[in-house]
Amino acid sequence: MAIRAMIQPVAIGLVVGAALTAIIGFNWGGWISSGKANEIATQKSSLAVAEVLTPYCVAAALADPNYASLFDTMKAGTSYDRKAIVTKAGWATPMGATDPIAALADSCQRKLTEAV
């Protein structure tokens, strides 16, 4: 009977301890779930690709015969408008790709208009 009476407090202690460890670990201990880790990795890799390809995008923009008129439109617009112009002009679509890269379009429009 003595062992049976000790099992309940031990079991409650284990459950409460595990719950507190998880709460503390995820909130203040820096733990993250695998889904969150994948999300962060995807964001960082997208930004890294955009950083590497930004000079390509800027060169493509400067080589475009319509650049001067598009640049005037970009200067007058918001960052959202500038990103749409870069995307529509095809400057954020790397050679061999079929779709533009959103992070690249954003990085490219900032680089093109940073001196404005």
- Rounded to 10°, the helix 102-113/67-76 angle is 90
pLDDT by position in tens, the chain (length 116): 577 778 888 889 899 999 999 889 888 888 898 999 999 999 999 899 899 999 999 999 999 999 999 998 888 888 889 999 999 999 999 888 899 999 999 999 999 988 65
What span, in angstroms and rounded, lies between the C-alpha atoms of 114 and 105? Answer: 14
Q: Is the CB of residue 109 less than 8 Å from the CB of residue 83?
A: yes
| Closest to 112 in 3D by CA, of 76, 80, 75, 84 | 75
